[in-house]
Structure 1
Amino acid sequence: MSSSANRLINRPILATIHTDAFRHNLSRIRELAPASKIWSVVKAKAYGHTLEAVLKGLESTDGFALLDIADAQWLRDHAWGGRILLLEGLFSQEELELAVKLKCDLVVHSEKQVDWLEAYQNHSGHQINIFLKLNSGMNRLGLKPAHYRTAFHRLHAAGYHLHHMTHFANADQVERSPSVGEQLECFEQAIEGLQAPTSLANSAAILWHRNALGDWIRPGIMLYGVSPTGVHADIVRSELQAVMQLRSEIIDIQELKKGDHIGYGGRYQSPEDMRIGVIACGYADGYPRHAEDGTPVWVDAADTHGNGAICPIVGQVSMDMLTIDLREAPHAKIGSVVELWGSEVPVDDVAQMSGTIGYELICALAPRVSVVIK
């Protein structure tokens, strides 16, 4: 359980992290890429799921990949003895000593980082693994092909254990350029004759380009049961499970007459007499303020048989509350449990109705929301 769950809480909103879903998703990824080792990407505090949860649910991974050296320190302090990859490498030369002490693998994506490593005198006895990153067309981080081979030879001469790495820009959109095929061709040309293990595939490539995996794959969003494309059908087809479940309760019910308006700006006008459920969840909890009318919310035990029902949001999401149409849930009452996203309501569906992506929603869970790890 995270520290946020240890303080006095009186609001019913709660995020539950299901570590059995982590285990399932990791196992499924191994089935998709049986010949590759796995870097489980846990940047941004494990996409909002907490490092505590990944230590419990992803303990069988081959390594954790992250950005902040403070997170690497946390993992070591909490008995993680496996490999750790710093995905953006070093942000300053002064970090190098700590990275070596923590036995981190390093991504190298710039000439400056090559300079720092070339000048470093390693007296630790620890073999430093380098993942040299090629800019094969995404044009974000990485060495251009013209400079890649020189950097490889410099680091090899300095005694580092090298790996080749690149990142695909459009593995989820085959019609966009550069395509996976174009980037893969660039990569293969750049590394020709330079023997070293490779790391290529992100979540989208693991799902749809299994000719472009490499020796180390880097699953991120799929580990959390969220789609790289934002289309939940991808998750269903891939047999992945949602890890985070965000729940709250109905804290009030309003009886509206036909023509009544709801919430700030009166965006929604009731088409008939109807009941409106007020839920303890708003944009200060990380729920998207721009969620449109019709965004799904699941209401538990919505009928006498104990079945739940999907009820749409009506009206503007406010800081601490949102409102839903209860016409599909005639037995809902104050205290009825609702799911904002999770196994009943895919976070991808909420994101689509809010003009964003599932990544943003799970990463934006507010600190005031209690988190329970199961």
Structure 2
Amino acid sequence: MSRAAKITVDLDAIRHNYRLARSLNTAGHAVAIIKANAYGHGAIEVAKALEAEADAFGVACLEEGAELIEAGIQKPVLLLEGYFEVSELDYISEHGVWCAVHSLAQIEQIAQAKLSKPITVWLKMNSGMNRLGVHPDDYQAAFKRLKQLDNVSDIVLMTHFFNSDELDKADTDKQLAVFNKATEGLDAPHCMANSAAVLAWPTARRDWMRPGLMLYGSSPFPAAQENADKLIPAMTLTSEVIAVREVQAGETVGYAGNFCADKPTRVGTVALGYADGYPRHAVTGTPVWVNGQRSRIIGRVSMDMLGVDLTGIDAGIGTEVEFWGKNVLAAEVANHSDTIPYTLFTGITRRVYKHYLNR
């Protein structure tokens, strides 16, 4: 490896965060959500790190699930978006993949399919997000129809919250009420809690939980929260200073000259840019960590490089700069970039070297 841009993934941090989720509901189970290449952390590596204790793994689509199965992962794999083509049901059946079902039409497709083994269905309800899911008025009938099918073994009742990260809003309580009413009398386990609900909505934890963002040590909340404060960041994004120069007052740095020094400034050029996944919209002042001190980026982020303020810091060519991790939280960077930690993690590109700790 020549270029210094890399992410370091602490697998022990991910194990800690999964155990935190389980500790909040010891009587229930938890699907570790590793879709989108485990939010950029590496799906196979994360699955192997968690397989000894995770109850199941959640992915977006069959391609992501097949990758885990082909890598030798034995724990159940849940397709959170379900299947996209009827032909996928053959693979789902043969390999014991769990599958979300979100429409009455899909139920009839399963009824007509010729499967080698019955499948486990996670019946999704649209309790208010209005994205995917069976309408609450149709949910009881959908459940009863699935129970009639020889092609279906187990059923889990699920929904998804759209605003559980805002603890002062009534949306989650409303969705809980809709779900509770629509599932009354149905004998099947429940799954409702995403990361925010796992951490802060005890009545939503139920039989199964779906910790996602929290596995990677990032809080879904904009402010401190008792359980979220126990999370440990798993990904650290770093690179190195490749040039240093003294900029005088009145001189600019980077494209468009949108940073103009108001005093003599020591600028480090770092080998990291938006082609690596660092957000182009990060503004001057976005925090970084250099040799034990907080500093800031200055000027516009370019494709392969950016500027860091080294004024008053013992740093030079070869000094490592942390862009997010345990010293600078991804949420801080996101706040300076008009985005969210999810996009930072999943946006890391393939040219950034991945290094794993505590395999």
TM range (shorter): over 0.9
Cα distance in structure 1, aligned partners of 2:356 and 2:38: 13
| Identity of matched residues, % | 41
Measured after TM superposition, the shift of residue 123 of structure 1 is 3.0
Counterpart Cα distance in 2 of 1:182 and 1:174 = 13
SS at match of 2:193: coil
For this pair of structures, how many residues does the alignment match? 354
Deviations 1:252-303 (A, max 9, x none): 0011111111111111111111211111100110000010111011112xxx
- Assess if the C-alpha contact under 8 Å between 2:288 and 2:297 holds in 1: yes
1:3-27 Cα deviation digits (max 9, x unpaired)? xxxxxx3211111111111111111
1:313, distance to aligned residue in structure 2 (A): 0.9
CA–CA distance in 2 between the matches of 1:18 and 1:88? Answer: 28
- Structure 1 segment 1-374 matched on structure 2, within 5 A: 9-59=1-51, 60-124=53-117, 127-159=118-150, 160=152, 161-176=154-169, 179-231=171-223, 233-234=224-225, 237-300=228-291, 308-329=292-313, 331-374=314-357
Deviation at 1:82, TM superposition (A): 1.1
Tell me if structure 1 keeps the 8 A contact 2:253–2:259: yes
SS at match of 1:44: helix
Contact 2:93 2:116 in 1 (8 A): no
In structure 2, what residue type is equivalent to 1:122?
L
**Equivalents in 2 of 1:180, 1:46: separation in Å?**
26
**CA distance 1:273–1:236, shift in 2 (3 Å):** farther
Return the offset for 1:75.
1.3
Contact 1:89 1:108 in 2 (8 A): yes
Q: How far, CA to CA, are the matches of 1:123 and 1:291 in structure 2?
A: 52
Amino acid of the structure 2 residue aligned with 1:142:
G
Unmatched tracts of structure 2, length 5 or more: none
Maintained 8 Å contact 1:311/1:328: no
CA distance in 2 between partners of 1:34 and 1:325 (Å):
47
State the distance in 1 between where 2:12 and 2:143 align.
Answer: 40
Which structure 1 residue ranges, 5 or more long, are not aligned? 1-8, 301-307
Secondary structure of 1:284 counterpart: coil
**Given that residues 9 and 236 in structure 2 are in contact (C-alpha distance below 8 angstroms), is that contact kept between their aligned partners in structure 1?**
yes
Provide the TM-score with structure 1 as the length reference.
Answer: 0.91
Q: Which residue identity lines up with residue 89 of structure 1 in the other structure?
A: G
Query: Residues 170-229 of structure 1: CA distance to partner in whole angstroms, max 9, x if unpaired?
Result: 11114446x111111111111111111110100000111011111000000000011213
| Cα drift, residue 49 of structure 1 | 0.7
**Structure 1 residue 148 displacement after superposition:** 1.1
Contact residue 230 and residue 352 of structure 1 kept, 8 A = no
CA distance in 1, matches of 2:28, 2:354: 32
Q: Which deviations, in whole Å up to 9, do the C-alpha atoms of 1:115-174 show, x marking residues without a partner?
A: 1111123333xx421111111111111010111111111110003221111111111114
Deviations 1:41-79 (A, max 9, x none): 111111111112212322210000111212222211222
TM-score with structure 2 length normalisation?
Answer: 0.95
C-alpha displacement of 1:234: 4.2
Q: State the alpha-carbon separation in 2 of the partners of residues 39 and 235 from structure 1.
A: 22
SS of 1:340 mapped into structure 2:
strand
Q: Distance in 2 between matches of 1:236 and 1:340?
A: 25
CA offsets per residue over residues 60-108 of structure 1, 9 Å max, x none? 1000011121222221122211111110111010000011112101111
Is this contact kept in 1: 2:248–2:261, CA < 8 A? Answer: yes
**Closer/same/farther in 2, CA of residues 168 and 53 from structure 1, 3 Å limit:** same
Which moved further from structure 2: 92-101 or 156-165? 156-165
1:237 Cα deviation after fit: 4.8
